Structure 1
Amino acid sequence: MIIREEKKREFYTVTALVREAYISADRSTGREYKLVEALRESDAYIPKLSLVSIIDNAIAGYGMFLRGKVGDQDVLILGLLAVAQSMRGHGVGGALVLEGQRLARKMGYSYLFVYGSNVYYPRLGYDFAHNFGVEPPEGLDREHMMCIKLDAQAAPLEAGTLEYPELFKTLEMF
């Protein structure tokens, strides 16, 4: 498995993968693929943290890490993780998350948030965001808002609410 930055020529393939991956998801709006397209044009988008997983020369998974805020502090948000249905259970998602964490740490980010499974993400080192003093935005429940501290030396976060990119609200993702 190779994990690398998404290339512009792969945008269509990645968007199709996201659409297919979320068709059967428990908590899906059906608009995740539209969100990916819109986020690529936004200030929240970080090309170096828009990652694809390649297996047998095909895109097997995708992770999009985005700029967010808690108060005045810049943080990262795993905005979307998608794995081809045929590749689920093979470690693709976990590998994308771990590589994203490694790159984010290297880029100087101290905290990474994700709204997702409170069973899956703790296996990758995540804890409830409220244990860091951070609450999810309105419309998301706190039992699925997770956080990992990427830099052990980082100052604690100020208590507050995680701010997602505005497009999540515009596209009514929550």
Structure 2
Amino acid sequence: MSELDVTILAETPKDAQAIERLHERTFGPGRFVLSAYRLREHVDHLLDLSFTARIGTLLVGSVRQLPICIGDTPALMLGPLTVEPPFRGRGVGRMLLDRSLRDAKAKGHRLVILVGDEAYYSRVGFEVIPKGRVTMPGPVDYTRLLVAELVEGAFDGVSGTIRPDWSKAR
């Protein structure tokens, strides 16, 4: 395969079933017990900050962002980010990440957290949250809890429990 002609589009309600099938294929049924999924039970992701990657009409990737708070500080939780296995390693995930972070910053968001691989996400500015600074309900590997400041200094003084942004609860 040569270069892929990938289109990144804002997620729409019509994408929900295809994205759920993608998550099912790539993450399996165990995904529902993860702490990040527990947070998603109460608040919907933001469609204007969640994106799909398509090659023609084929959905090959997705990223979502959820409104959360760290203590009383508003933030976003990025994820899940996934790409169909045959299209991994070709820049699709990076395109989704770049678009989601750029649009979040443009809309005035200051902080994004996620649970993921530091080696992968550090390329776009994420770093491990210092131990003991935040807590997350349920089991979580704190070495994989990462933060990116969309505005310099936005994480200064922020601490507390990660929770859904109840002002946006269903």
The TM-score bracket by the shorter chain reads 0.7 to 0.9
Q: Is the aligned partner of 1:121 residue 2:121? A: yes
Residue of structure 1 aligned with 2:11, choices 3, 6, 13: 6
TM-score by length of 2: 0.80
Check the 8 A contact 1:44/1:68 in 2, yes or no. no
Residue 115 of structure 1, CA deviation: 0.2
Partner of 1:15: 20
Give the length in aligned residue pairs: 158
Is the 8 Å Cα contact of residues 43 and 164 (structure 2) preserved in structure 1? no
SS in 2 for 1:2: strand
- Residues 136 and 145 in structure 1, CA contact (< 8 A), matched pair in contact too: no
**Structure 1, unaligned stretches of length 5 or more?**
167-174
Alignment pair present for 1:111 and 2:116: no
Give the CA RMSD over aligned residues.
2.8
Give identity over the alignment, percent: 23
Quick one: structure 1 residues 130 and 136, their matched pair in 2 at CA, closer, same or farther if it must change by over 3 Å?
farther
Instruction: State the distance in 1 between where 2:144 and 2:96 align.
Output: 19
Secondary structure in 2 matching 1:68:
strand
Question: What amino acid sits opposite 1:76 in the alignment?
Answer: L
Deviation at 1:111, TM superposition (A): 0.6
Question: Scaled by the length of structure 1, what TM-score is found?
Answer: 0.78
Give the unaligned 5+ runs of structure 2: 1-5
1:77-133, CA deviations, whole angstroms, 9 ceiling, x for partnerless residues?
A: 013111111111111112111111001101111110010112211122110122793
- 1:89-104 counterparts in 2 under 5 A? 89-104=89-104
